[in-house]
Structure 1
Amino acid sequence: MKKIDITGIVISIASLLIIIWGTIAPENNLSFTVVVALAIISMIILDIKASKVSNLSEGNPKIKTMRFLNRLSMLVFIGFYLLTIMPSTKNLLNLENNDMVIVTLVSILIMVFGNSAPKIPFNRYLGLRLPWTIRDEDTWKLAHKILGYISFPIAIIMFISAFFFKIETSSTICILLWIIIPGAYSFIFYYKKMKGLKA
């Protein structure tokens, strides 16, 4: 009998609740707090069960990378939450000048994540989680290797383009490219690999 993955079930339920609550709940501080709380709970569970989720030993360096990125995500969530709900900072966040601060922070996060991406162990919860990357470890490794290569140039392009183009447009394009390039390349690799296995 197959062992039930409690960690996966809890994280999946929390993710589903985030999507449902974020979609149907009214836009207020309580709704935002519930969504952030569910996200943090999922991240804490992932942090505790990192070795089990990735099927690696506690001493494996990839577990440290996984936990580092997970904790960084938690700090970003908490920091953004606190800045958003505090009345004194809410007005500051609405100022156009602060768009550059946000772009700078996002660019730094892309570089940090990209630098660590090739070290993220094969798992279903953290990283570039696409239907084909979570089904095959070689595809996962390739996708995250490419993610590592393109992160620095994309972060620099995003930062520089913010001075010349509309920030929302340039940032959206750069973030989409950051996901689409490794996603598309890894999909082609996965498709060819599966086609080769069936031949």
Structure 2
Amino acid sequence: MAFQLKKELPLIGIILLPFLYLAYVWPDLPQRVPMHYNIKGEIDRYGDKSELLIIPFIMPVLIYIVFLVVPKIDPKNKLQQMGNKFQTIKVLLTTFMSVLALYIIYSTKNASLSNPNYILLLIGVLYVILGNYFKTIKANYFIGIKTPWTLENETVWKDTHKLGGKLWFAGGLVIILGCLIFNQKTNFIFFMIITAIITIIPIVYSYQRFKQISKV
């Protein structure tokens, strides 16, 4: 997967958006700005505004760099077999991180997280999108439900990701619905429970499916 600047330019533009927005609001920011909020959306830590520079770097930039590097260190070139799906997932996750960085900077500028449910709603949307792609992901060491049993057996990988895709898709929809119904504190707990469920069930299933196939 050679780097093609012309192909990557639109995504690089999306990555730059949080930097451009931060530069735009920088003169209006006080020296000390809100840096952390609790689950109720209340400020519980302030810091120097220079700390905001870290946000675009550790979110869209870092994710983008990871997606550039992993194909080069993939020991069996499994990611090459994913073709455009790998690029699509890279675009989705990097864009998500840019949007999240923009929202955090915006909230800091206004000294209010407004509604923490918005962040969880965005994550719910991400779960729905990823769940839709799970069944198309080829076995690899970097993306997907990577357990000793899915990596050991291709059938286990396919079956686990088929189930995982349905769970993440449904879980994302449930999280989005929860964001529209519950208050911030209740919804955070609800979000953590749903996330735990859609994460643990595929892992347990992969072990059971591997044992089932091993007995044949």
Aligned to 2:193: 173
Aligned to 2:107: 89
* Structure 1: runs of 5+ lacking an equivalent: 1-26
What TM-score, normalized to structure 1?
A: 0.67
Please give the alpha-carbon distance, in whole angstroms, between the structure 1 residues aligned to 2:79 and 2:182: 46
Please give the alpha-carbon distance, in whole angstroms, between the structure 1 residues aligned to 2:145 and 2:164: 9
Q: Larger RCO: Structure 1 or Structure 2 (Cα < 8 Å, ≥ 6 residues apart)?
A: 2
2:163 paired with 1:146: yes
- Equivalenced residues, count: 164
Aligned to 2:211: 191
* Structure 2: runs of 5+ lacking an equivalent: 1-47
Residue 125 of structure 2 contacts residue 173 of structure 2 at CA under 8 Å; is this kept in 1? no
Aligned to 1:105: 122
Change (3 A) 1:55 1:164: closer
Percent of pairs identical after alignment?
Answer: 20
The structure with the greater share of residues assigned to strand is: 2
Please give the alpha-carbon distance, in whole angstroms, between the structure 2 residues aligned to 1:179 and 1:92: 35
What does 1:1-199 align with in structure 2 at a 5 Å threshold?
A: 28-29=51-52, 32=55, 35-36=58-59, 37-46=61-70, 53-54=77-78, 56-57=80-81, 62-84=82-104, 86=105, 88-91=106-109, 94-97=112-115, 99-162=116-179, 163-164=181-182, 166-194=186-214, 196=215
Higher alpha-carbon Rg: 2
What TM-score, normalized to structure 2?
A: 0.62
